Chain A
């Protein structure tokens, strides 16, 4: 800033309650600072500094070309600013609530030097820093969490490293703390204005008189300068609300300026609060203009009329202003390490809804992350590190759900509006999760939903959805979303009707809903009630109107969930009872089956902090299930028919009462500030199909932040899960099958290459045991699997115009034994059934190379995105020959070595373009999302003639353009 100096410090800390719970042993908090030459101060909890943000007297001392304002986001910004912060606590296992009893205050402000080139170009920029303050208040580390380039970052860091603060106190003891600290570099607006920047406290600066004098000199019709010969000037009170145009989101920490007379001379007199509100008390001067501005929005202007100036009552003003071009990406990448797991990937809402090829569906984005194999036909299954899709769990707010995607290529079952973030664990998840031996996805729904009335409507060719949120009464905040597909109604309009045509296709018919109500309780507690569910049907469309294809596939699941978060003495409790109902049914010709289930979930997660270095989490993860299964399938009885045995209708009726309680305990120990070790153990018990099964899963993870930009991390652990229920059936399966289990090992390194680019390289090794294999007509637990590889994520975090990532996985997944999990049932596979082929061969999910490139660029109101994927073809077992089986009048396939061939390499480019129009109180957007832009063939398999002599590729999805519209208010 050079001669500009630090001009003032303002704590915009009205949202920071020193008594509010702090959920980390290194507190992360925000502050709001305005820097002035030599008069810096920092208030985290004080009332808003009276008077103007920029005193006119001080301003006179500042070089007119420049003002440097430093502001640190407040509570709302805290969550966003937690990037790269070590030692966070695991959400879901909240800790006891240490209290910030004394916030740090800046004792040695240091003014940044405005980069000369940027200043010459009149460029502005915001640099958000994470400052680690030790217990003495020294800045031990300063890292850029959001850079602005052009030399701003370096200038901000250089200044911040020299700053000093008064020690923060937690529970009345000095403690280390991390604060988010944003410095706004803004070329100076104007020199001193001629108006009074006085406030309600009358704390106007000593420059007021002069200012008033100048204002008086400008000549005000009704507001003469305060002289002894003239009456006191008319006082004016203006109460305002600043919101973003279209979204109506509040403008937080925006500058509020006033100008009088000449209008070119303005003075910053305040800032908006967390709700976007502000209040001005000043002298009513003719030609008074009020300006609300920040670095990301167009200025909002109001010229007060003479009548308004003369009005005796306060003026109310709602200011709506548009987001500036190039500022569309507002949400930061939340590399939020608040869970103890070290290898998860966390995606923000922005990334989750604009990735091409996903139709704006958040959960589809996971399929473009390292460790996730490509699913055939774009199906909504997660194949993680070569494991069966059943091995990867899906959770919503830590509650297991049967599936997170609708049928086939349908979207996920949760409205994007309710998704706050998605944690994806390719492996190595902690002990609070269980019953899955592969990866895990946990969707965290938004909290704080419903503080204001908002809504959206999305329309596209596949489905439509609506979302609303808002307050109910003074205590409750509610939100609801509903989506329904109609592709089954639209598609027949485009399929020509032709008798005799054999064209048949299946389309999904689905809906999903979510409803949520929450309220804050005393002592920092919170109660959340949720209901969500999804329903899927498969509809078959034939181009021959006389042809009726009797297929019905139905799946539905519904959940009711309550979450009560409350302190229990030194512990923080999160109590979650839930009820779930689900049904899966199919009908195909004479086959039919229905499985329905009622489930009671009971979770209690307790956390407690023991000093600054250790946190303990423990909990109960209970599950009680009552399953009802009714099958009516034609099946031959086990015998020795020479020919196609006569199938008889086999009616199977099951009523099963199963329980699966689990307990866990996990510690989070930080022997040093840069080291975190998380040991845990989980005990699971299963009573299922009248058998008892149990397991003990020890797990350990750790992280060492070698430097602020370099960290090592690793996990090791045991993971158990039940086999698929059908393999446990007394008649059709084997209830004595063992639990499938895996031992997982991961070691990774994180490197922050630039302020915006991070690289993560993870090596993994997984062994899977006791996997069900096909024996003669039942099953045994003798299958094995293993997977190993490297995962690279090179990620450009969300900046003003761009975000993207490169995900590359080099891996090998192998199995031994004739596994049945995930293997298509029946069919002429030529597979032997002895289960004894224990040689290792590639699993059906092995994809040696898997590359995904994702990029999205924002320009004005346009967003352009592409996604490119290049994936090794899936393993195939070649046909070595065939012979004629006269009894069955068919050919039996002779297989070559299992998995010894590959399908063609998959290469697909997806693109997305979106245009948003912003109106006063709502936005309207139109998008085109095109999958497989180049219409690549991408065979998904091979089909053969009746005797396996001729073959042809089974083509993948062709080009699929989807047009959509959405409005939001």
Chain B
């Protein structure tokens, strides 16, 4: 309890940093990585009939039907608005490796600060392939401006299944064979001005779960705009849409609310596996009600507030869900990209994710007018 008090104090302490806004892209950034499909159901033979008594030996005996391994189309959303990067194609090298169940917990994953297990209720490691026991180079100098096809071999996947095994505190084996196998795809991206690294996973299921459907990648069908909100956060003023090729206009010192439209169909119900909380701690199929759709907003000039929104409030929290974010133009037009007509243009991206590895994005423009 005292520790919680300390955390609260630290969490509530006024921040002293004057950091760059995460919604403003000023240098080499990876904003998203789309993999299509985002998850794969394999046909695996020889799985242990009794997962509680699985052993490495039994797992070494499994086989994978090559026909069940699809080609994965990988497309990164990468940009570097710095002048030094202009005209230089952005490329990346690609490496794959199995999940490291012992790796660091992913950012914001695992349940948060008050998870009684210490925020560790996931065995999805957020690690690079450098330290992995096995990794597979999949290409160099891959252009980042389009999709790239990735195909893993049965041997690689078998090795991954055998690598991604851990024993829980009661000695029960778990891992990719019963919980799903994340394969890390690591992109080392180079622009004309720098290098950065990103990872993206594809989840391979060893066998279909009852009622399981492969994830459908979420999309953003439309973006609604309006200039202001009421005190109750209702749209105020003339509403419009922000479409590709038709930029919105915002004066310096003004603002514009952007609200991605979320269709109910985007929020899929899905099946996954979880470990039972009570003995014998079996991995069992579990139906989760629906996905939570998350939006992230980016721009090359100005910033968004908030930078992220989500389609669902936290459990137990009541209120209205707000997906919109407010675009705030920069304080001046210095350094803002201009189009052929001389207008200052802010490029805008909205990325949508479904918490199952599915992600996509839309790109729009906003013209920042000099002022009223």
Contact = CB atoms under 8 A, between A and B. Distances in A.
Interface in A630-662: 631, 633-650, 652
Interface in A763-798: 774-780
A640 B124 contact: yes
Interface in B321-372: 351, 353-357, 359
Given A636-B111, A640-B176, A778-B168, 14 more contacts: A505-B13, A635-B117, A637-B121, A642-B182, A644-B355, A777-B122, A825-B3, A826-B111, A833-B105, A888-B109, A889-B351, A890-B107, A891-B107, A892-B126
A830 interface: yes
Interface residues of B, number: 94
Interface stretch (A68-76, A187-195, A729-737): A729-737
B22 to A, nearest CB: 4
Contacts of B10: 941, 954
Contacts of B14: 502-505
Contacts of B103: 832-833
B301 interface: no
B107 to A, nearest CB: 3
A589 B314 contact: yes
B200 interface: yes
A890 B106 contact: yes
Interface string A209-231: 00000000000000000000000
Interface stretch (A306-314, A414-422, A943-951): A943-951
Interface in A545-569: 549, 551, 553, 555
Contacts of A403: 2
A412 to B, nearest CB: 14
Interface in A588-644: 588-591, 593, 631, 633-644
B12 A886 contact: no
Interface stretch (B54-62, B82-90, B140-148, B273-281): B273-281
A553 B115 CA distance: 16
A634 B313 CA distance: 12
Nearest to B124: A640
Contact of A640 (B30, B117, B272): B272
Interface of A: 376-377, 379, 381, 389, 403, 407-408, 502-506, 538, 540, 549, 551, 553, 555, 584, 586, 588-591, 593, 631, 633-650, 652, 726, 729, 731-734, 736, 774-780, 820, 822-834, 836, 883-894, 941, 943-947, 950-955
A729 B286 CA distance: 24
A825 B104 contact: no
A952 B17 contact: yes
A232 to B, nearest CB: 77
B8 A506 contact: yes
Interface in B90-137: 101-128
A641 B124 contact: yes
A645 B180 contact: no
Contacts of B278: 731
Contacts of A893: 104
Chain A, interface SS category: loop
B286 A829 contact: no
Contacts of B116: 631, 633, 635, 652, 726, 729, 732-733
B33 interface: yes
Contact of B114 (A591, A778, A836, A952): A591
B234 interface: no
A888 B314 contact: no
The 9 closest A-B pairs by CB, nearest first: A826-B119, A890-B107, A643-B355, A590-B316, A952-B17, A834-B102, A945-B19, A637-B274, A778-B169
A724 to B, nearest CB: 9
Contact of B356 (A593, A643, A732): A643
A942 to B, nearest CB: 9
Given A586-B1, A945-B20, A826 B198 contact: no
Interface string B24-54: 0000011011000011000000000000000
Given A826-B113, A892-B106, A638 B123 contact: yes
Contacts of A389: 2
A634 B111 contact: yes
12 contacts: A633-B115, A636-B121, A639-B272, A641-B272, A646-B288, A646-B292, A778-B168, A825-B113, A825-B115, A829-B105, A831-B105, A884-B197
B319 to A, nearest CB: 11
A505 B12 contact: yes
A274 B110 CA distance: 68
B118 A634 contact: no
Contact of A885 (B20, B107, B113, B274): B107
B316 A589 contact: yes
B118 A774 contact: yes
Given A591-B114, A635-B115, A826-B111, A408 B5 contact: yes
A364 to B, nearest CB: 15
B114 A586 contact: yes
B180 A776 contact: no
Contacts of B107: 828, 885, 888, 890-892
Contacts of A506: 8-9, 12
Interface of B: 1-10, 12-20, 22, 29-30, 32-33, 38-39, 101-128, 166, 168-169, 176, 179-182, 196-201, 203, 272-275, 277-278, 283, 286, 288-289, 292, 294, 296, 308, 314-317, 351, 353-357, 359
B5 A889 contact: no
B240 to A, nearest CB: 26
Contacts of A647: 111-112, 314-315
B122 A540 contact: no
A219 B182 CA distance: 115
Contacts of A643: 353-357
Nearest to A939: B16
Given A584-B1, A639-B275, A642-B203, A825 B12 contact: no
B120 A892 contact: no
B104 A832 contact: yes
Given A640-B180, A646-B355, A945-B17, A828 B108 contact: yes
Contacts of B122: 636, 638-641, 645, 777
Contact of A831 (B104, B203, B316, B359): B104
B197 to A, nearest CB: 4
Contacts of A954: 10, 13, 16
A945 B168 CA distance: 35
A733 B104 contact: no
A943 B315 contact: no
A887 B357 contact: yes
A553 B201 contact: no
Given A826-B113, A952-B17, A775 B121 contact: no
B41 to A, nearest CB: 14
A503 B16 CA distance: 12
Contacts of B125: 833
B286 A637 contact: yes
A538 B4 CA distance: 11
A906 to B, nearest CB: 16
A825 to B, nearest CB: 5
A648 B181 CA distance: 23
Contacts of A377: 6, 9
A829 B113 CA distance: 12
Contact of B123 (A640, A649, A836): A640
A775 to B, nearest CB: 7
Nearest to B110: A826
Contact of A946 (B7, B22, B109, B286): B22
A886 B76 CA distance: 9
A637 B122 CA distance: 8
B228 to A, nearest CB: 15
B169 A892 contact: no
A885 to B, nearest CB: 5
Among A551, A640, A832, which residue has the most Cβ atoms of chain B within 10 A? A640
B314 A892 contact: no
A820 B121 CA distance: 14
Nearest to B294: A889
A590 B317 CA distance: 7
